[in-house]
Amino acid sequence: MARRKSRKKAPRRRKTGFNIVNALELYVQTDVITRNIMGTNPFTALTGMESFTSGGGKGFGASPVTTQIGYYPQGASVTVPELLGLDKMTSVGTVNRAVPFGQGVDTLKANFQANLFPMIIQTIGVRAGFAIGKRLLSKQRSFLNNKVLKPIGLKSVVTV
């Protein structure tokens, strides 16, 4: 019997576009980890720019409460610049606060040990929530992809 000519398999179709829902899930998972281990959100953890309040004494003539954004290495949270020992200018003044390399490692260890179980539960909850949400909202996501993004030509760039 003659050997059959095998057909070449068609190349698999690649998904194109940036998936907003997957990016949101990644951000929420990152937020769970940074809040439980570092004590802050992902943006603050990477940049070291924290908001903190000052003033706000009680009584007549007390200084008003002001919220400032800046580098605050003595805060309760730990950031990447603090771990690397980077110096930054503060919004409190023009003083450069010297930060030793590895400041906050003990805080990271303590936070990890204290928040390990809640962090695991939150991570599982986020994953399950997004999996259920993707299935429940599949028709709405399909509508957005095919009826809204495709006509304006954004389906190849962004998907929901």
* Domain limits for position 62: 18-159
- pLDDT value for 24: 96
Tell me whether residue 11 is in a domain: no
| Percent of the chain whose pLDDT exceeds 70 | 71
Q: Which two tokens stand for residue 98?
A: 């010297």
CA distance linking residue 113 with residue 120, whole number of Å: 12
Give the pTM.
0.70
Tell me whether residue 51 is in a domain: yes
Give strand pairing partners of 49: 71
Tens-place pLDDT, residues 12-66:
777 678 999 999 999 999 999 999 998 888 988 888 777 666 655 565 555 555 5
pLDDT above 80 (res 109): yes
Tell me whether residue 5 is in a domain: no
* φ, ψ of residue 139 in degrees (nearest 5): -70, -40
- How confident is residue 67, by pLDDT bands cut at 50, 70 and 90? low
- pLDDT value for 118: 95
Tell me whether residue 77 is in a domain: yes
Select the highest-mean-pLDDT range: 34-48, 68-82, 128-142: 128-142
Tell me whether residue 99 is in a domain: yes
State which H helix or E strand residue 50 sits in: strand 49-54
Domain count, the chain: 1
Tell me whether residue 40 is in a domain: yes
